[in-house]
Structure 1
Amino acid sequence: MARLTGEFADWHNLHYMAMWLTGELDVAALRDAWWRVCLRHDALRRTYLSPEEARTDPDALNEVEFHTAASDADAVELMRRFIGRPFDLGGPSFSRVAVVRCGERRHLFGIAIDHIINDLASWALIRADFTEFYRRALTGDSGDVTAAGSYQSFASEERRLFAGGWGKECRAFWRSYVDEFGTVPAPFPVGGDTTGAYQPRTISRVLPADAKSRLHALSLEARATPFAAVTAGVLAAAKEVTGDPVAGISVNQHGRMLPGTSQTAGLFVQTVPLHLKTPHKSPAEAAREVFHRTHDVFEYSVPLLVAGRYWSETLMVPDRQAGLYVSLNEAPPSSHDLPPFAGTEAEYVELDVPGGKRFLETVVVAWNLYETGPELVAHYNEDRFPGKAVEQLLEAAERFVLPADAR
């Protein structure tokens, strides 16, 4: 919503993917499948007339485009331009799908959906329906499309709640939160002068093979979620590295708090702050405090920039990114891939898409606790954050969550 009001105008934020498909691909069935997906999920038919007013069209706003290319390299470049073209926030659509033919049994498939109508859970719903409707189209199934939960209905109910008693509770909560911790997002105050040149870097630490089980043991001791435990670890590490008695971080909240939204596609995720202030005797105690705080910030999760303007209060600083962001990933990235369409085999293609979201002022800390090769990773801008400070952050976070004496 901040993008609709002019913030972060220098980037667009996409969910996108491309893959080579080898085998028999029926383009007509693919177009029919995408049309059905759009009818099923009204978020794909949603546009914004203004930051305060949206419209849902009764029919699909686009169709699968078909192109040809003389070579694989030409196809990849065509797809890169197709996917990377920024969406116009005024519409008419926030999604696009294309197929580039390079041979009778070789096609490059690509899809892009703007984050303004999509999140990771929604992407899972859309990709599952896309492949299923394609399978049905191949069999000649032209039955009616059963609509999923309506995003328009969710948005209307959220507005109704916001205008009533829940909205008053939200205002009181965030006013008290900002009074205690300051406006959000919180910075990660390390480093000095910058040149302004974006220098993306990645640092990773290999974690013990039993990291996942040890994290779950800490969570059980704290009676908190694993996410609260790793977040507490990064917050405690930030306090140690910066010497600041209060540390703040930004996290994503899934946003599907209302009944009937689990199968609804759309943008539900809200970014909310979490802080750690009180000194703690143990990691379990810190994890417990963070867990309690998540109850409040998740209960009152709203777009803080927009809500603050509505209330004429400064809750969030415009055009500023969070200093720290944390995520917990227990399934590998491949679990988010679109499976191949029936009758084809897929090979995924990495595309360098210009204009994507860049974390200029944020250290993104990811706990990747996969079944094999668990690791703690930080993505950051070296022009803004010294590598040594980021390494110290990861080391302190690992030591907090997975202390050597707890083996």
Structure 2
Amino acid sequence: GPSTGRDDRTPRPGSDRPAECVPLSRAQRRMWLMERLGGTGDSYHVPFATRVSGPFDVAAFATALTSLVARHAILRTRYTEHDGEPCQEVLPTPRTVPVHVVDTDEAQAPELLRRETARPFDLAAGDAVRALVLRHGPQDHTVLLTFHHIAVDGASLETVAGELADLYTTATGGTPRHTLAAAPQYADHARREHEALSGFEEELERWSELLADAEPPRLPPPAAPAPDTAVRPAAVRTVPLTPTVPDALRTLGAQRQATLFTVSLTAAFAALHRLTGDDDLVIGVAGTHRSGTAMRGLVGLCVNTLPVRVDLSGAPSFSRLLRRVGDALLEAQQHRHVPFDLVLERLGAGARGADGTALVRVTSDVLGEPTVLRLPGTSAEYVDLPSDGAKFNLSYGLDLADPARPRALVQYDAHALDDAAAQTAVRDYAALLDAVAADPELTLDALPAAGPQDGSP
């Protein structure tokens, strides 16, 4: 095929694959298999929506988007099979992404956005990004980009938003703030990972020790089974926190050499302990394969699940538990470049349920301010588009998207947990965050349980 100006189609030494075929990274491979199995719905779609107020030039935006796709080959990559093995092939540039414009009032916008984010992708055709613009008025638009997760992660959106702003400025005849250097390409990362796989033996042994006999958390089963659908329906519950809590938790962490992330993860362990009654618990956290300057500005899927296993026995104080969690998290992060599905393969059937991700059923995160598209001469507002599908049974989140209104949040799979249990889970999590912000020496059995009236649906 035509050259892309890179070595994407150069034969690799000793490779019997077709020249243009690059192996999938392990994270992509998992995503590809999930798509093949079906039933993921839109849980692996990554919508990125911004309300743009001010003059918006649709043609310039379309030009910018086409330039972005030309810069990042992963956004014009198709997924095929050779000899039963999945591989990725870069389509030659230029590839134009059509920008559909729909005139609509505010009342109909959420449904249009929801329908667009849920539309399936054709990965075999190299379909990884779509664009829709809703025009509410001459200077009022909602700009929606929908990506497939196989091509982007959260950190990629920062790069996408920054580069689109510069490319749009150029397309409108302005002077961009940054001169864009050549972009690193994901296929190179996938090749490097593929070549490194044989060197993971020692670290896989270490993971095996850390997770020997670990079991997924035993969540209380739903009182009534949810209607059986292929997609695991996602639901969210939140409870507002006192506005001073995040800073109090940061201070508590700083006094004990722990980040806010580690403090909130410790609260998630304490809340999960209360929900399950188990002392030996595993919670997954998002790791990344991004390290060093070579991967700065890389668009692609570089996330890795890190299972963190903690012993909660002996009614430790929150402070002591924080040390245990910090040690376990540090150990997991030291092996963060070993793909999680390799770890699962090594652990064998005991650690893997029918859905393939049994060991990590519960996750925890701190949700910061979301990325928005800041175009010159306009003001930008984030538009939240919840997914219909849950990736995990239960996810605890310290939600700081609006710093003035912090919230405790749980997202859950309605097949795995009923609303009442989820409501209890988020209230407990909120009560724990509030309590330890005031007194981190409280022991787990002395930490307050949420009253049934606390919180909001």
TM-score band w.r.t. shorter chain: 0.7 to 0.9
Shift of 1:85: 1.0
> Secondary structure of 1:132's match?
helix
Q: Summarize the Cα distance change of 1:318–1:48 in structure 2 as closer, same or farther, 3 Å threshold.
A: farther
Give yes or no for the alignment of 1:299 onto 2:334.
Answer: yes
Give the corresponding residue for 1:231: 265
Q: Which runs of 5+ in 2 are unaligned?
A: 1-28, 443-457
Q: Cα distance, 1:252 vs. partner?
A: 0.9
1:177 aligns with 2:206: no
Distance 1:53 1:170, change over 3 A: farther
Partner of 2:14 in structure 1?
none
Task: Determine the C-alpha separation between the residues in 1 that align with 2:110 and 2:439.
Answer: 47
Tell me the residue number matched to 2:363: 325
Report the secondary structure of 1:298's partner residue: helix
Residues 372, 380 of structure 2: 8 Å contact kept: no
Q: CA RMSD in A?
A: 3.5
Query: 1:104 & 1:395 partners in 2: Cα distance?
Result: 43
Contact 1:38 1:44 in 2 (8 A): yes
CA displacement, residues 39-72 of structure 1 (integer Å, 9 cap, x when unaligned):
2223212332246422223425442334454767
Letter of the aligned partner of 2:411 in structure 1? H
Matches within 5 A, 1:39-58: 39-50=70-81, 52-58=86-92
Distance change >3 Å, CA 316–CA 62, structure 1 → 2:
farther
Cα distance 1:69–1:248, how it changes in 2: closer, same or farther (>3 A)?
same
Summarize deviations over 1:8-55 as a string: whole Å, max 9, x none. 633232221445545543333222211221222232123322464222
The amino acid across from 2:32 in the alignment is: L
Answering whether residue 193 of structure 2 is matched by residue 162 of structure 1, we say: no
1:2 is matched with which residue: 30, 34, 53?
30
Deviation at 1:231, TM superposition (A): 1.0
CA contact (8 A) 2:45 2:148 kept: yes
Q: In the alignment, does 2:392 pair up with 1:357?
A: no
Secondary structure at the residue paired with 1:161?
Answer: helix
Tell me, in whole angstroms, the C-alpha distance in 1 between the residues paired with 2:426 and 2:58. Answer: 49
Distance change >3 Å, CA 307–CA 274, structure 1 → 2: closer
Displacement after TM superposition at 1:128 (Å): 1.1
Residues 321-340 of structure 1, C-alpha deviations (whole Å, 9 max, x = no match): 644221113x334xx2222x
Q: For 1:231 and 1:294, how far apart are their aligned partners in 2?
A: 9
Give 1:275's aligned residue.
Answer: 309
* One-letter code aligned to 1:289: R
Alignment match, 1:194: 224
Q: Secondary structure at the match of 2:201?
A: helix
What pairs up with 1:326-345 in 2 under 5 angstroms?
326-329=364-367, 331-333=368-370, 336-339=371-374, 341-345=375-379
Q: Relative to structure 1, is the Cα distance of residues 235 and 140 closer, same or farther in structure 2, using a 3 angstrom cutoff?
A: closer
- The aligned counterpart of 1:368 is 399
Report the counterpart of residue 445 of structure 2 in structure 1: none
Out of 308, 312, 316, the residue aligned to residue 352 of structure 2 is 316
- The counterpart of 2:278, out of the listed 211, 229, 244, is 244
Give the drift of 1:168. Answer: 0.8
TM-superposition CA deviations, 1:303-344 (whole Å, max 9, x none): 4336655x6944533415644221113x334xx2222x3344
TM normalised by structure 1 equals 0.82
Paired residue total? 394
Measured against aligned partners, the alpha-carbon deviations of 1:71-99 in whole angstroms (never above 9, x if no partner) come to 67677765554433111232322111233
Query: 1:29 aligned to 2:60?
Result: yes
Q: Distance in 1 between matches of 2:243 and 2:138?
A: 46
Aligned to 2:22: none
- In structure 2, the CA distance between the partners of 1:251 and 1:401, relative to structure 1 (3 Å rule), is farther
Contact 2:68–2:164 (CA<8 Å) still a contact in 1? yes
Q: 1:205 aligns with which of 239, 249, 253?
A: 239
Q: Relative to structure 2, which stretch is displaced further, 61-70 or 211-220?
A: 61-70
**Secondary structure in 1 matching 2:273:** helix
Inter-partner Cα distance in structure 2 for 1:326 and 1:70: 37
Indicate how the Cα distance of structure 1 residues 278 and 23 shifts in structure 2: closer, same or farther if over 3 A, else same.
closer
Equivalent residue number for residue 377 of structure 1: 409
Match of 2:433 in 1: 398
Q: Deviations over 1:242-261 (max 9, x none)?
A: 22121221211133135521
Gaps of at least 5 residues in structure 1 are: none
Q: Cα offset for 1:113?
A: 0.7
Q: Residue 117 of structure 1 aligns to a residue in which SS?
A: coil
**Contact 1:328–1:366 (Cα < 8 Å) also in 2:** yes
How many Å apart are 1:107 and its aligned residue? 4.8
- Provide the C-alpha distance between the structure 2 equivalents of 1:390 and 1:70, rounded to a whole number of angstroms: 39
Of 294-303 and 83-92, deviating more is 294-303
TM-score, normalization: structure 2?
A: 0.74
- Cα distance in 1, alignment partners of residues 290 and 102 from structure 2: 41
Secondary structure of the 1:2 match is helix
CA distance change for structure 1 residues 300 and 61 in 2, over 3 Å: closer, same or farther?
farther
The match for 1:265 is: 299
Are 1:11 and 2:41 matched, yes or no? yes
> Is contact 1:363–1:380 with CA below 8 Å preserved after alignment?
yes
